[in-house]
Amino acid sequence: MDASGPRLIAGLDEVGRGCIAGPVIAAVVVFPEGAAPFPGLADSKKLTPKRRAELARRIEAEALAYAIGRAEAPEIDRINILQATFLAMRRAYAVLGLEPDAIRVDGDRCPELPQPCHAIVGGDATEPTISAASILAKVFRDREMEILDGFHPGYGFAVHKGYPTPAHQAALRDLGISPVHRRSYAPVARVASLF
């Protein structure tokens, strides 16, 4: 640590890449370097919904800053999921309101950002700031899918959150494609060819 205080480290992660409906959501969370924010942070996929919600409230209360970014299904279809993920990450960073000294991203590539960025494969399970971002992104996206379930009843978005479960694919065949489905994804494209 220098005289100006600890470096500020941002963790950045996304959720929803493997879904066939809904947005891809990215979250960025800032903590001081070396600070173990609090116990229990882990990859959001390994936590129960209740535990994720508890941790999300604590992250929001204790992080120096956090922000959410998104890319919608039509954007995903137009530019592909990787570029849409990077777009969501840049959007989250753009509204952060705090300039971190460095950024750690889950995965093997970083989006173009103005600060030094380090990609860490499996970082959502090993880096507390990335774990925190993973949790916020997952909680936000799950809530979003519950809202979309009310606008597009019958698909079961509140249950499967847009992932291609057998029930979701059956509803897709029965009801057709909603405006929030990703038409470039194979299960949706197959149904589109039937209508």
The verdict on whether residue 14 carries a ligand-binding annotation is yes
- Residue corresponding to tokens 């942070």: 41
Instruction: In whole angstroms, give the CA distance from residue 13 to residue 6.
Output: 22
Handedness of CA 34, 87, 146, 48 (dihedral sign): negative
The rounded distance, in Å, linking the Cα atoms of 138 and 25 is 8
Q: 14 - beta bridge partners? A: 26
Residue 106 vs residues 14, 25, 73, 151, 170: alpha-carbon distances, Å: 8, 13, 22, 32, 32
Is the four-CA dihedral 153, 154, 157, 163 of positive or negative sign? Answer: negative
108 is in an annotated binding site: no
Q: Is there a binding annotation on residue 106?
A: yes
3-state secondary structure (DSSP) of residue 14: strand
Residues at the binding site for a divalent metal cation are: 13-14, 106
Annotated binding-site residues read: 13-14, 106
